Amino acid sequence: MAKQPAKQKVEPVIEVAEDPKALPSYLRRIIDNKPQGGDGGIVYAGDYGWVCEYPSDGNKELLQEYTGLAAAFRNNGLDKFGNPIPPGTVVSTNITIETLNLLSTEDLGILGAPLGIEGERAELISKLIEKLQLK
């Protein structure tokens, strides 16, 4: 009989923004020298640097190359525009609505505690879906 692989337990992850910290000088310079987007384009940090997205046709253009800029912003508590993320804001999660429906009331309470969510099971699920912006 063939060996079955060991099952790995996947823990749900909710990444919540913390208090803002002092930015490294290189990151402060990058934010201060943010390029301007022409023709009504929206400039934001992407994985490869400053990106300009044009809402009229959806085209994207790389304005300045800074590899890992979006990750550096996330790690330092900034949104994709370089603004501080308010403490307590959910940054990312690996939870789905299906996962929430499978969890017990106790587990839902543990997930909701850092977000300040309490209540009965149905109320916990609805508030978590709203707070985590799940679809």
Helix 105-112 with 121-132: angle, nearest 10 deg = 40
- Whether residue 6 lies inside any domain: the answer is no
Q: Give the pLDDT confidence score for residue 94 in this predicted structure.
A: 81
Q: Which of 64, 85, 106 is the last residue of a domain?
A: 85
Task: Report how far residue 69's alpha carbon sits from residue 128's, in angstroms, rounded to the nearest whole number.
Answer: 30
Q: Which of 85, 104, 126 is the last residue of a domain?
A: 85
User: How many domains does the chain divide into?
Assistant: 2
Domain enclosing residue 18, as ranges: 13-85
Same domain, 59 and 20: yes
Q: Give the pLDDT confidence score for residue 37 in this predicted structure.
A: 84
Same domain, 74 and 20: yes
- Whether residue 2 lies inside any domain: the answer is no
pLDDT averaged per 10 residues, the chain (length 135): 64 64 84 88 93 90 92 86 79 82 88 85 89 80
Same domain, 100 and 62: no
Same domain, 100 and 80: no
Is the Cβ–Cβ distance between 74 and 80 less than 8 Å? no
Q: Give the pLDDT confidence score for residue 40 in this predicted structure.
A: 86
Tokens of 124: 């916990």
Same domain, 68 and 126: no
